Amino acid sequence: MYIIVVGAGRTGSKVIELATQDDHEVVVIERDQDLAEKVSATYDCMVINADAASKQILLEAGVEEASALISTTENDSVNLMISMLGKQYGVETLVSSINDPQHMDLFGDLGVNIVESPHELNGQYLYRTVQRPAIRDFMEVGGGAEIFELTVEADAPIAGLSLINADSEGLLPQETVIVAIVRDGELLIPRGESAIQAGDTVTMFAKNGASDQITDAFTRSY
């Protein structure tokens, strides 16, 4: 995956660390020279020491080929501009931090995949969003276990099946538990015969974390 990370502060650095560990092709844009030099010396990635709120700089970073654009600056106007340029150039996954909750709708209307307040934000969360964009609000429990939310897409393999049938068809790994279902604003406590429907938001616990097998069950096959 080709990932552009804007900003190499605490959050951005964590994203860079995780992405380079997974051998993704990473380009970092950081306007602070000291931070840019530190990232260049620490991680296996290309670093551009410049202001990212510029078409020229994003083109230099390869935005037209990028799979994901992650903006982590402390300026919402800069983050919004970067997201707008990413959308203009067709970047599939746009991720941004937000510093003022009042700006949430601006980012949402733009189609930014995930927007989090810095009070809740961490680099691992942002990177997780790029890895598995279908997953929302994940939380590590310990020992690799995670609790997270997924929305059931139309025509997903699990849509229309009861929990018993989903289990018998091997759609979910062992030691995976569906904890709750929200349907049309109503909270449902699932039982074995409970059917999962398209549009449901499902809260899950997975002992071994959110895997491709789980996300594949909840998303449409193309």
Residue partners of 220: CB distance under 8 A and separation at least 6: 153, 154, 155, 156
pLDDT score recorded for residue 135: 65
pLDDT given at position 120: 47
Query: Which residue spans of the chain are classified as CATH 3.30.70.1450?
Result: 137-218
Q: Does domain 137-218 have CATH number 1.10.645.10?
A: no
pLDDT, residue 43, reads 96
Kindly report, residue by residue over 145-154, the tens digit of the pLDDT: 878 888 899 9
How big is the chain, counted in residues? 222
Orientation of helix 10-21 relative to helix 123-131, angle to 10° = 40
Q: Is-contact 157 222, C-beta < 8 A?
A: no
Burial class (CB in 10 A: 0-12, 13-18, 19+), 212: exposed
pLDDT tens readout for residues 166-221 = 989 999 988 888 988 999 989 898 888 889 999 999 998 888 888 889 989 998 76
Q: Enter the pTM of the model.
A: 0.64
Can you spell out the DSSP letters for 89-156?
TT-SEEEEE-S-GGGHHHHHHHT-SEEE-TTT--HHHHHHHHH-TTEEEEEEEETTEEEEEEEPPTT-
CATH 3.40.50.720 residue ranges for the chain: 2-131
- Nearest 5 degrees, angle CA 192-CA 163-CA 174? 105
Q: Report the pLDDT value the prediction gives residue 70, as an integer from 0 to 100.
A: 92
Residues 106, 104: Cα–Cα separation, whole Å: 6
Which residues, including other chains, have CB under 8 Å from residue 198's CB and lie 6 or more apart? Answer: 152, 153, 154, 155, 156, 159, 160
CB crowding 104-125: b at 16 or more within 10 Å, else e: eebbeeeebbbbbeeeebebeb
Confidence at residue 128, expressed as pLDDT on a 0 to 100 scale: 67
| Among the listed residues 105, 47, 46, 96, the one whose alpha carbon sits nearest the alpha carbon of residue 75 | 96
How many other CB atoms are found less than 10 A from the CB of residue 59?
A: 12
pLDDT < 70: residue spans in the chain: 113-125, 128-129, 131-142, 221-222
Q: For domain 2-131, give the CATH number.
A: 3.40.50.720
**Do residues 180 and 188 lie in contact, with contact meaning Cβ atoms separated by under 8 Å?**
yes
**Residue 125 has what pLDDT?**
65
- Say what the pLDDT of residue 136 is: 64
- Tell me, what's the pLDDT at 119? 46
